[in-house]
Amino acid sequence: MTDYFDSLGDVIERDEYNFKGKVFRITNYTYVDTVLLKKETISKDGFNNNGSSLTKRITTYDHDSVGNIIIEKEYSFLGDLLKPSSVTIWNRDYDTSGHLIREFITPPKGTIYLYHTYFYTKGNLSKVKTFDVTKSWIYSYLYEYNEDAHMKSVYLDNKSEKSLEHESFYDNQKKLIIEKDYSDIRTLLDHATQAYFYTSDGLIENQSFQDVKGENYYYKHFYSK
């Protein structure tokens, strides 16, 4: 992946490559005074460059007076870019502290309904509840913090049980150093692990990833001025 930035440090283009070294997805970003207004992505199958699975997504953002995204619209063109797009809309409400508290979704050819509600404890996100179109609760994500261990745990509550989904570990400067994603699929390992290594300037220099099969991948980050 290659990111390009403007003079203010905002990413304006992201190119993603497949295993053959060819670009399969390009995303362009449009800003006004560093505020993101539009994201446009054109992609095709990462393993097949014949263009048969070409897709295009355009996402627009409306903000309130303090910069919170209150309306997000995603226009999707699948297969044939000349056909009309499908449109998904998210509407978001915030409290006086700027915390997201409610998210509504309008699916393509559907009606708006409450999708997520967010709860906070001492300014930290503590719970996200998810609802279906009938206003029935489906599941929740629970967030727990251990300040002494510099870690955050995320649990899934799906009516029948509470299961660990994700763990994040941070250094003394609050930089993310390890992530663990847990799976309910029985594999060689019960989680995938990502580790991040930083330069003295605080930039990510190296990254490692071990999937649930025990296979390892390594990434190196390069920067230019």
Q: Which residue, 193, 147, 131, is CA-closest to 166? A: 193
Q: How buried is 70 (Cβ within 10 angstroms: 0-12 exposed, 13-18 middle, 19+ buried)?
A: middle
Mean pLDDT score of the chain: 91
- SS3 readout for 161-203: CEEEEEEEEECCCCCEEEEEEECCCCCCCCEEEEEEEECCCCC
8 Å CB contact between 104 and 118: no
SS3 content of the chain, % helix, strand, coil (to 5): 0, 60, 40
The β-bridge partners of 164 are 155
Distance, in Å, from the CA atom of 15 to the CA atom of 22, rounded to the nearest integer, reads 10
* Confidence (pLDDT) at 82: 60
Domains in the chain: boundaries: 144-225
Q: According to the model, what pLDDT value does residue 85 have?
A: 77
118 three-class SS: strand
pLDDT along the chain (225 residues), means of 10: 94 94 95 94 64 80 96 86 81 97 95 98 96 96 96 92 94 96 72 96 95 93 90
For residue 109, the 8-state DSSP code is: T
Per-residue model confidence (pLDDT) at position 80: 62
Q: Look-up: residue for tokens 């440090």?
A: 9
Give the predicted TM-score (pTM) of the model: 0.86
Instruction: Provide the pLDDT for residue 185.
Output: 63
Can you tell me whether residue 99 is helix, strand or coil? coil
